[in-house]
Chain A
Amino acid sequence: MAESSDSVSEPLPISLVAGRYLLFDINVVTYLRRTHHICGTLIGSIPQIPQQNVFLGLPVELMPEEARLLVEKEAAYIVDDFAWHKERFNTFKGADRADYLESLRSEGFKARRAAEATSQNKKKNALAKQAVRKSREEALEGAAMKDPTDGGEAESPFDYDRPDSPAPSTVSISTNKPYAVTPTATYSTSSLPANPAQQPNPDTTSSYHLFAHLHSKDYFVMPGLRFGCDYNVYPGDPLRFHSHFAAVSYEWDEEIPMMDLIGGGRLGTRVKKAFLIGGKDLESKAQDGDRVRTFSIEWGGM
């Protein structure tokens, strides 16, 4: 993670895979979160332990609303991975291909260097700890009577999580080889469309108006499944704040049963939120703004 999210430049590609909007680059993810208040949802699990779903990683899936908002702000564009793969993979030859392979190689070297630096650090720390322990033992017992390799190594915590080191000869051969990098797309970033504006906007439901309205007021808008609403609305980054609203979008004329308002208001108040309803005002004569009308509902306490 040496390069920060400053290294990304707009417009950013969003991969469309099987109808889902995905981001594979951690720099892009942090950049969108910091600059555009777009968080998305981490959906990547560990291949061998897919049932572990508490801590998920890349890729990040964006709601269609998030993807559309970014496209409309011209901060991003959609790449249909399947179509682009079919179009480009067979013609991926010559200098382009060589460049791409070279970029994979350099990524692999980078990963290798990072891994080696980490293991070097580990080794250094372990040796330092061992030295401290040994000197303490010597101080306690006076003259050291033990074999130094015996006590030190058996207690090292790093013996448990690592298999035995390979023989020295194999290590010296493999140092020159890059780590294998699994690319997330079958095309190189340099071959992405030159004119991204031609892509159609992502399809969204009518709740997009409410989403865009809340987003324009600097709220962080997350999926609302947890509270049975369309959106969970945070006043700042969800890692730092509790959400303020459970928001549900309605059409201007859509009938809202009273029970839904009472249920939403009661649930929202119980979890220290307000129940927010809103939608596009079809009769507003205002020329400026997005003409979204909202109401906040809380329990009256009586």
Chain B
Amino acid sequence: MAPSATTSSPPPPSALSQALMSSTATSDRQGYEHPAYLLHLAQTILHNLQYQHSWTSLQIHTCSSAMLPLPRPMISGLPPKRAYIHPDEQAEIIKAEHEAGTSIEQFAEREWVLPTSIGEKWSLKRFTGVFDALDVVPPTEDVDGEMEGEGEGGSSVGSKWRGANRQKRLLLSTLHDDSTVVYYIMHDGIVKPRQN
């Protein structure tokens, strides 16, 4: 404490502050301006996904595919491994693996992430607004060699629960004041739980 008290200049910005400062300049490329605190919230969650959970191909969306503004900035990205496997798909995969005697490789799918903070209050109406504005699978603007397993996944095991066939879902991410972020899978409609 003592040395910093003598110098009047503030400490250098942290990595997250730098990310926040640079993001505000680039985030309005889709043409719609959300309030800065929502963009910062999204940026903080994105930072957490990128550096704590090793997500890739992350981007922030401010507009839906129909070019209508989203209720708030949304994140899409590619997790290091599949974020969600439907229990029925899991059962089918295990059956197929048992019959074939080899394990079936699973590829990650792009996921939507809804940034929220702990002090907020949501409602069924607002969740409906978010879900209705989203496509089932997040759009990919830059196809820089993402392996989504779509190409050979057309008729493969469990394709009924993947890609455009999957139930609309998002990761509900909640930021706490101490910068902890928790993630919950949220499905549109009644989806039975995983057997974890």
Instruction: Tell me if chain B binds chain A.
Output: yes
CB distance from A80 to the nearest CB of B (A): 35
A185 is an interface residue with CB less than 8 A from chain B: no
Q: When A261-B172, A262-B182, A302-B53 are in contact, do A293 and B194 touch as well, CB less than 8 Å?
A: no
Report A-chain residues with C-beta under 8 Å of the C-beta of B194: 298
Q: Would you call B193 and A295 a contact (CB within 8 A)?
A: no
Q: Considering the complex, give the chain A residue whose CB is closest to the CB of B111.
A: A300
Q: Considering the complex, give the chain A residue whose CB is closest to the CB of B182.
A: A262
A256–B79 Cα distance when bound, in Å, is 28
A24 is an interface residue with CB less than 8 A from chain B: no
A278–B186 Cα distance when bound, in Å, is 12
CB distance from B77 to the nearest CB of A (A): 12
CB distance from A232 to the nearest CB of B (A): 13
B102 is an interface residue with CB less than 8 A from chain A: no
Q: Would you call A258 and B193 a contact (CB within 8 A)?
A: no
A48–B120 Cα distance when bound, in Å, is 53
| B interface residues, how many (CB within 8 angstroms) | 34
A273–B194 Cα distance when bound, in Å, is 8
Q: Would you call B119 and A255 a contact (CB within 8 A)?
A: no
Most chain B beta carbons < 10 A, residue from A235, A244, A258: A258
Of the 9-residue stretches A9-17, A49-57, A246-254, which lies at the interface with chain B?
A246-254
Report B-chain residues with C-beta under 8 Å of the C-beta of A256: 121-124
> Interface digits, A259-302 against B, CB 8 Å rule (1 contact, 0 not)?
10110010011001110111101110000000001111111111
Count of CB-CB pairs between chains A and B under 8 Å: 108
Report B-chain residues with C-beta under 8 Å of the C-beta of A277: 124
Main secondary structure of the interface of B (DSSP, over half): mixed
Q: Would you call B184 and A278 a contact (CB within 8 A)?
A: no
- Chain B: residues with CB nearer than 8 A to chain A? 53, 79, 83, 116-125, 127-128, 131, 171-172, 174, 182-196
- Chain A: residues with CB nearer than 8 A to chain B? 214, 217, 235, 244-245, 250-259, 261-262, 265, 268-269, 272-274, 276-279, 281-283, 293-302
3 cross-chain pairs, A with B, having the tightest CB-CB distances, nearest first: A300-B183, A255-B121, A274-B193
Further contacts, 19 of them, CB under 8 A, given A253-B124, A300-B172: A244-B193, A245-B192, A256-B123, A258-B117, A261-B122, A262-B184, A265-B184, A269-B196, A272-B193, A272-B195, A274-B193, A276-B190, A279-B124, A281-B128, A283-B128, A294-B190, A296-B189, A297-B187, A300-B171
